[in-house]
Amino acid sequence: MNISLSHYRDLLTTYLKPQRRKVAMLTALLLGSIGLQLLNPQILRSFIDTATSAGSGAGSFQRLLVLAGLFIAVALISQAVTVAATYLSEQVGWTATNLLRSDLARHCLRLDMSFHHARTPGELIERIDGDITALSTFFSQLVIKIFGSGLLMVGVLVVLFLEDARIGAALTLFALLALVVLTLIRNFAVDSMAADRQAHAVLFGFLEERIAGLDDLRANGAGGYVMRRLYQTMRDVVHLAHRAAMRSSTVWIVTMGMFALGYALALGLGAYLYSAGAISIGTVYLFFQYTEMLRRPLEQISEQIKEFQRATASIGRVQELFAVQSTITDGPGATFPSGPLAVEFDAVTFGYGDDAPVLKDISFALVPGTVLGLLGRTGSGKTTLTRLLFRLYDISDGAIRLGGVELSAAKLHDLRQRIGIVTQDVQLFQATVRDNLTLFDPTISDAQIMQALTDLELLPWLQSLPDGLDTELAAGNNSVSAGEAQLLAFARVFLKDPGLVILDEASSRLDPATEARIERAVDKLLRNRTGIIIAHRLATVQRADEILLLERGRIVEEGPRARLADDPDSRFAQLLQTGMAEVLA
């Protein structure tokens, strides 16, 4: 992606505007610090000229003392101002980038599942955290180093001009030449930096995934394979990091060469003017000192070029990420009826990405308040069908209606508010029990939560916790049993009070007591709601009013459960005969 100046300008205005006051204060501090820095060589020149001049009486000694005191005072104040400016610029930089970081995180959360499936968690972490951290250095350093250095440079040149037009002109020419050279090589290393960071992102993604899958890898003896893949990934990283380092050091060497040139110029000119008797030895020192001061900002700017290149690469990727638009967007805002919802699939065809369709020509209708038992072998498309209802993906053909409303006509939030899903594996967050149940919705009262927990027979469990609703659950599902996790997920659905409940039953076996509890909970969950149950157990199938049998993405049988069960030729009846476990598990 091509990064133009307007990208920087947009970023700066968007994220610095809220901090106008601090930025103004920072500017004042910078200007003060620059003035003080310009003052100091003048004091030194007076000191040298006083010291070297003939009449060294008590008066001039007094004067030397005053000058020395002044020099120290100015140096100290200048340091203090610099510290204050640095502090403020870091603050401004971090505030700005934290704003950007949360914007980016929010943007990513809105992107659809296809986006998230195409990227590993590690890659997104590197994108949202790594790139933004690079930007934060850029934000805070940009102000102090690039802006401040630029001003200091202009100040030095102006003062030099006032001293002697010849040396002023010579050093201005030099500074301009240096800037042109620096600008020309500015973009030299950017691409290799980007490739370097991308390689790191891939490496982190790889590590994250392997560490998460440690149990499976160990159990299957895949250590050798993982190590080989690790070496391959690391080889890419080394290669790209090496190239990026070579390129940026070339930039650095060129910059250093420029400085040597400026030094020689100032010393040569000073020596010439001194021997011609045009200036005092103090003024020669002044030239030397000012050139030294010119050297520092140039050096800093060139150093910042590295940062600037990193930041440019980061801005590029951040903009790229911002440009990714979710293909699943809000509809005009049709509203769903209250109460149990009708479900209607009309010749629906769907495939993930460009893959072959996973669901083909699916049509069925579900009357409000009835329960559909969704059966089929593993991979037949049951979970996929429920994802479509939730609009995690959009269908390629046909129509899906909920409560008579086409899904794409409603706002996503409204749609998802009306459907409760309990997935095969329930995800608990590292947060309090309360937050895990309300999913951080503060409008749900404790009384409602307690009611839901009572309904689901979870009160004894809650009472066994040290801090009740305030007990922190650990991330992952290690702190609760599989049955409890299921029931907690049910409680979430209760609190949401949706018109359609989708239950993707876990195929894992639970102990009979827990199963019975879950049975009773499912009863309550389905009361006065439409339900779709992906069933793995006979008991769950028995509560369905309608049965739909999927095979490789197609409906092979559909109808009222009672009728299918009575018809000895139906596949469903045969399933009941042979036992669900053998056929469906």
Nearer to ligand ATP, 323 or 356 (CB): 356
Nearer to Mg ion, 376 or 483 (CB): 376
Min CB(353)–ligand ATP separation in Å: 7
Our CA angle for 556, 561, 565, nearest 5°, is: 85
- For residue 384, the partner it binds in ligand ATP, Mg ion, none, with Cβ less than 5 to 8 A by kind, is ligand ATP
Which of residues 333, 379, 404, 579 is near ligand ATP by CB under 6 A? Answer: 379
Min CB(123)–ligand ATP separation in Å: 17
Listed ranges 61-69, 250-258, 382-390, 481-489: which one lies at the site for ligand ATP (CB under 6 A): 382-390
- For residue 380, the partner it binds in ligand ATP, Mg ion, none, with Cβ less than 5 to 8 A by kind, is ligand ATP
Q: Helices marked H in 185-222 — which ranges?
A: 190-212, 214-219
Q: Is 481 exposed, middle or buried (0-12, 13-18, 19+ CB in 10 A)?
A: middle
Q: Helices marked H in 276-381 — which ranges?
A: 281-323
Bridge partner list, 472: 432
Residue 443 φ/ψ, nearest 5 degrees = -80, -10
Listed ranges 262-270, 380-388, 395-403, 464-472: which one lies at the site for ligand ATP (CB under 6 A): 380-388
* Residue nearest Mg ion by beta-carbon distance: 383
Q: Is 117 exposed, middle or buried (0-12, 13-18, 19+ CB in 10 A)?
A: exposed
Contacting Mg ion within 383-412 (CB under 5 A):
383
Is there binding between residue 381 and ligand ATP (CB under 6 A)? yes
Contacting ligand ATP within 59-118 (CB under 6 A):
117
Q: Distance (Å, rounded) from C-alpha 98 to C-alpha 455?
A: 42
Min CB(377)–ligand ATP separation in Å: 7
Contacting Mg ion within 368-387 (CB under 5 A):
383
Min CB(389)–ligand ATP separation in Å: 12
Min CB(125)–ligand ATP separation in Å: 21
Which of residues 188, 263, 288, 352 is near ligand ATP by CB under 6 A? Answer: 352
Cα 213 from chain centre? 23
Tell me how far CA of residue 336 lies from CA of 367, 391, 450, in angstroms.
Answer: 15, 15, 28
Q: Distance (Å, rounded) from C-alpha 428 to C-alpha 444?
A: 18
Amino acid at 41: P
Do 418 and 500 contact (CB within 8 A), yes or no? yes
Q: Which of 135, 90, 95 is nearest to 321 (CA)?
A: 135
Written in H, E and C, the secondary structure of 159-182 is: HHHHHCHHHHHHHHHHHHHHHHHH
3-state secondary structure of 547: strand
Min CB(96)–Mg ion separation in Å: 44
Is there binding between residue 378 and ligand ATP (CB under 6 A)? yes
Min CB(94)–Mg ion separation in Å: 44
Helix, strand, coil % over all residues of the chain, rounded to 5: 65, 10, 25
Min CB(358)–ligand ATP separation in Å: 4
Q: Distance (Å, rounded) from C-alpha 425 to C-alpha 504?
A: 9
Nearer to ligand ATP, 24 or 324 (CB): 324
Which of residues 30, 358, 473, 518 is near ligand ATP by CB under 6 A? Answer: 358
Is there binding between residue 338 and ligand ATP (CB under 6 A)? no
Which of residues 27, 60, 133, 383 is near ligand ATP by CB under 6 A? Answer: 383
Min CB(177)–ligand ATP separation in Å: 57
- For residue 358, the partner it binds in Mg ion, ligand ATP, none, with Cβ less than 5 to 8 A by kind, is ligand ATP
Site string for ligand ATP, 108-137 (x = CB under 6 A): ---------x--------------------
Is there binding between residue 380 and ligand ATP (CB under 6 A)? yes
- Other beta carbons less than 10 A from residue 560's beta carbon: 13
Total number of residues that touch ligand ATP (CB under 6 A): 11
- Helix 281-323 vs helix 148-163: angle between axes, to the nearest 10 degrees? 150
Is there binding between residue 384 and ligand ATP (CB under 6 A)? yes
Is there binding between residue 552 and ligand ATP (CB under 6 A)? no
C-alpha atoms less than 13 angstroms from C-alpha of 70 in its C-beta half-sphere: 17
Residue ranges in contact with Mg ion by CB under 5 A = 383
Catalog residues that contact ligand ATP under the rule CB under 6 A.
117, 352, 358, 376, 378-384
